[in-house]
Chains A and B, each alone.
Chain A
Amino acid sequence: MRARRGEVAIERALLLLALSAVLMLGLIAVFIFLQGLPIMVKHGPGSFLFGTRWAPTKGGFGLLPMIASSVIVTLGAMVIAVPLGLSCAIFLSEIAPRRVANFVRPAIQLLAGIPSVVFGFIGILIVVPLIRNYLGGPGLSVLAATIILGIMVLPTLISIAEDAIEAVPRPYKEGAMALGCTHSQAIFGVMLPAARGGILAAVILAMGRAVGETMAVIMVIGNAAIVPQSPLDPARTLTSNIALEMGYAAGEHQQALFATGVVLFVFIMLLNSIATLRVVRGDRR
């Protein structure tokens, strides 16, 4: 009896601790919405979401430049990261000899461990001057942020995509090759379509990482609150908008930054929900 009571206590304690993470998420969500929504309601959500003038100390609260920049930079990062990351995942799971894979995999993990401020620093010292000298413009630009983010999200993309490909049952590939497919035909014709759900989840989670990245972006994007017209234009993402002005903000300005947080929160929730749904559906099949 005593032993069982102990077991129950342990289970309950674990449940409580497990729920604490959910509780934190709930608290954060409630806090952000409480701080950010009133000002959105007061000035009208339309003027926040579609306004283009950001001058929070003078009553301009348009977030469209930031929303557009976040979307553009994130999609741009995917253009760089998806071909690289997917190729790497295919190579690691299907082609690489064990010795090579055992070298490449930890290297990718190491890439994930590099702090974002270091990526930003490399961006400022190498990428920005290259863009300025060879392509023109101030160098601090959408393109610089896209390149840095494209590299930063690789570890996320590679490890999840690799898991997805490895999760495809071996007989699929063996069957395909027994029917006369070449190795590459089996990979691209059978394995990848079978792992589609997981690969999509990998891409979407990588997008979430790109949307949320702050430090490296703030350092290389130039932070001009405009809708960028060219890859060489500076821009400002949602995250950099908050981090840039948080230090000095007070009153409505601070609330406007929380409103930025609300938009960001919704973005991330959408991306993660899509990724989760995809994985669940992929599992069922």
Chain B
Amino acid sequence: MSRGAAMGRRAQILALCGVLLCLCSSVGGCGRKGHGRALVLAGSTSVQPLAELIAEHYEVEHHGRPVNVQGGGSTAGVKAATDGAADIGMSSRKPKDEEKGLDAIAVAVDAVALIVNPANPITDLGREQVAGIYLGEITRWSDLGVEGLIGGRTDAITVVTREEGSGTRSAFEEGVMGKADISSRALVQDSTGTVRAIVASDPNAVGYISLGMVTNEVKAIAYNGVLPSEATVRTGAYALSRPFLFLTRGAPSPAAQDFIDYALGSEGQGLVAQAGCIPVGGEGE
């Protein structure tokens, strides 16, 4: 009887192995469908919507090979480009020193806009003031010359920031904060949409988001006396801007080069403008 049981057990183990093998092979097979390997882009979620838009048009109108756009953040984009996990890495911040080994091509420029509630009368903040707010040193709108209550019960500023690692946050920190930490009392949100929603609903709130994502629910204010717009970002008058980069390690593969050329061409740059970002060409070339 014990012999029977042992045989039964062996048969079960064999059957289980068989099932596992089938599963493995079917999962592995999925990735290899279709003709030609898909081009893989990975990285910044700020660049992602733009890259997806360009990829869509690239596939349909340019009859390019399929493009697979993945998120993960700027850090992940740098990593993916470095170790070859993606054909093109996407990043929304200037490369750090240890990332200099990569070739970076700017496909668009984005500005980080400071936003307040439309009920807030303030129109302009200087770097010192913004830094003071985000350091937690300036805590009341009355300290900034706003008279009376904007709304709600107090005039305490509701500071809204993005989470650690976000490309928008690092662009903001680099431009405004320098080496200092953003106050840990600031509200932290993990997407542009939620930052905008809080600023839209809280009259005392201040936040920062991509210029392309500003809607009339919130009010973009001037930074150092300059309102963010395509013109002021292009001329460099508006200081809080950041490049949207495609990263490759060494020279891109022909397939990647074709996609980059499309993105930098007139069609691609048209899509950049359509996505609310600022095209790159036009000054030099």
Interface residues of A (CB under 8 A from B): 1, 4-5, 8-9, 12-13, 16, 53-58, 65, 124, 129, 132-140, 218-219, 222-226, 233-234, 236, 243-245, 247-251, 253
16 contacts between A and B (CB under 8 A): A5-B8, A9-B11, A16-B12, A65-B184, A133-B152, A136-B154, A138-B158, A138-B205, A140-B198, A222-B187, A222-B188, A223-B188, A224-B184, A224-B188, A245-B163, A249-B75
Q: With A9-B8, A58-B181, A218-B190 as known contacts, state yes or no: A247 contacts B45, CB within 8 Å.
A: yes
| Residues B8 and A250 in contact, CB atoms below 8 Å apart | no
Number of CB contacts from chain A to chain B under 8 A: 107
Q: What are the residues of chain B within 8 A of A12 when measuring CB–CB?
A: 8-9, 12
CA distance A122 to B73 in the complex (A): 29
Task: Say yes or no: B187 contacts A223, CB within 8 Å.
Answer: yes
Q: Is B166 an interface residue (CB 8 A)?
A: yes
| Complex alpha-carbon distance, A233 and B158, angstroms | 11
Q: Which residues of A contact B229 (CB under 8 A)?
A: none
Tell whether, in the assembled complex, residue B5 and residue A8 are in contact, meaning their CB atoms are under 8 Å apart.
yes
Q: Which residues of B contact A55 (CB under 8 A)?
A: 164, 181
Determine the interface band of chain B, counting residues with CB < 8 A from chain A: 35 or more
- Most chain B beta carbons < 10 A, residue from A136, A138, A245: A138
Per the bound structure, the CA–CA distance linking A119 and B184 in Å amounts to 26
The verdict on A248 contacting B202 (CB below 8 Å), with A5-B8, A133-B152 known, is no
7 closest A-B pairs (Cβ-Cβ)?
A248-B165, A248-B73, A223-B188, A250-B75, A138-B158, A222-B187, A136-B153
Interface residues, chain B, with chain A CB atoms under 8 Å away: 4-5, 8-9, 11-12, 16, 45, 71-76, 79, 152-154, 156, 158, 163-166, 181, 184-190, 194, 197-198, 201-202, 204-205
Least CB separation from B74: chain A residue: A248
B153 touches A226 (CB 8 A): no
**Contact present for B184 and A223 (CB under 8 Å):** no
> How far, in angstroms, from A247 to B4 measured CA to CA in the complex?
52
Query: Complex formed: what's the CA distance from A4 to B1 in Å?
Result: 10
Contact B201 A224 (CB under 8 A): no
Bound complex: CA A132 to CA B187 (Å): 14
Asked if A248 and B163 make an inter-chain contact with CB atoms under 8 angstroms apart, the answer reads yes
* Neighbouring B residues of A244 by C-beta, 8 Å: 163, 188, 190
Also in contact, A249 and B165, with CB within 8 A (given A12-B8, A12-B12, A138-B158): yes
* A278 → B minimal CB distance (Å): 37
Provide the residues of chain B in CB contact with A9, threshold 8 Å.
Answer: 8, 11-12
Closest to A221 in B: B187
What's the nearest-Cβ distance from chain A to residue B256, in Å? 22
Q: Which residue, of A65, A224, A253, has the highest number of chain B Cβ atoms within 10 A?
A: A224
Partner of A57, one of B153, B156, B165, B186: B165
Q: Distance in Å from the Cβ of B276 to the closest Cβ of chain A?
A: 22
Whether B45 pairs with A16 at a CB distance below 8 angstroms is: no
**B contact face: mostly helix, strand, loop, or mixed:** mixed
- A132 near B165 (CB under 8 angstroms)? no
Residue of B nearest to A226 (CB): B184
Query: How long is the Cα–Cα vector from A55 to B202 in the complex, in angstroms?
Result: 26
A56 touches B164 (CB 8 A): yes
Contact B185 A224 (CB under 8 A): yes
Are A225 and B76 touching (Cβ within 8 A)? no
Q: How far, in whole Å, are A251 and B75 apart by their CA atoms in the complex?
A: 9
Inter-chain contact A248/B75, CB cutoff 8 Å: yes
- Closest Cβ of chain A to B85, distance in Å, is 12
Chain B residues with Cβ under 8 A from A8's Cβ? Answer: 4-5, 8
Alpha-carbon gap, A251 to B76, bound state (A): 10
Chain B nearest CB from A237 CB (Å) reads 12
Q: Which residues of A contact B185 (CB under 8 A)?
A: 224, 226, 233-234
A195 smallest CB distance to B (angstroms) = 42
Within the complex, the shortest CB–CB distance from B80 to chain A, in Å, comes to 10
Distance between Cα atoms of A85 and B186 in the complex (Å):
34
B154 to A: closest C-beta gap in Å: 6
Q: Identify which of B12, B75, B188 contacts A225 (C-beta below 8 A).
A: B188
Chain A residues near B9 (CB-CB < 8 A) = 12
Q: A5-B8, A53-B184, A134-B153 given. 14 additional CB < 8 A pairs?
A: A55-B181, A57-B164, A136-B153, A218-B190, A219-B194, A223-B189, A224-B184, A224-B185, A224-B187, A225-B184, A233-B185, A245-B164, A245-B190, A248-B164
CB distance from B48 to the nearest CB of A (A): 11
Assess whether A138 is in contact with B163, with CB atoms less than 8 Å apart: no
Contact B187 A140 (CB under 8 A): yes
Query: In whole angstroms, how far apart are the Cα atoms of A106 and B184 in the complex?
Result: 43
A250 touches B79 (CB 8 A): yes
A16, A135, A138, A249: the one contacting B202 at CB < 8 Å is A138
Least Cβ–Cβ distance between B124 and chain A, in angstroms: 24
Q: State the CA gap A235–B181 with chains docked (Å).
A: 17
- Give Cα A16–Cα B45 distance, bound, in whole angstroms: 42
> Chain B contacts of A137 at CB under 8 A?
156
